[in-house]
Structure 1
Amino acid sequence: MMKQREITDESNTAWTCVQAYAGLDSKTAEQATKLAEAQDGTVTVVCTPSGGAQTVRLELDKDWLEELSDEELTTAITSAGSGS
């Protein structure tokens, strides 16, 4: 099962966030996830907006699905999307 989260930011853009490599078959995904997990325990999360705006890549804690609040996730997307 692909883990994803959907949130809506302040400008009413709906974002779907998925951990990179989550869509691969389980054995490949497991290896890719281990490789993708940085030394500091972060993973790459790709967030795609509705309406065709720019996709955003985030480096988040590997527990982002359970641990990160919607507010924190929105803030990460907003700051990444503004190029800062």
Structure 2
Amino acid sequence: MQQREVTDKDNTTWTCVQAYAGVDSQAAAEATERSESEEGTVPVVCTPSGGAQTVRLELQKDWLENLSDEELVATIAAER
């Protein structure tokens, strides 16, 4: 399972992972593929290190490689 960690201006560390990506089974692989929207986005769940609430995002499927830390933090902040 690939994940990213980013830290926001409040020193909250967010661990972000694509939904279904961490489960190793045929059903999970199918769910991951089906979760991609027609626009090419995938659901991503970001969990905070502190008392903040988990955030669910819709990001481009290449978010792990092509979304900067600053853009990811800004997207999390916008969804909170």
TM over 0.5: yes
Q: How far is the alpha carbon of 1:29 from its aligned partner?
A: 2.4
Secondary structure class of the residue paired with 2:42: strand
Q: State the partner residue of 2:67.
A: 68
Listed as ranges, the gaps of 5+ residues in structure 2 are none
Q: State the partner residue of 2:17.
A: 18
How many Å separate the matches in 2 of 1:64 and 1:9?
17
Moved over 3 A (4+): none
Q: State the partner residue of 1:38.
A: 37
TM-score (structure 1 length as normaliser) = 0.90
How many Å separate the matches in 2 of 1:29 and 1:72?
28
Listed as ranges, the gaps of 5+ residues in structure 1 are none
TM-score (structure 2 length as normaliser) = 0.95
Secondary structure class of the residue paired with 2:51: coil
Sequence identity of aligned pairs in percent?
68
Total equivalences in the alignment: 80
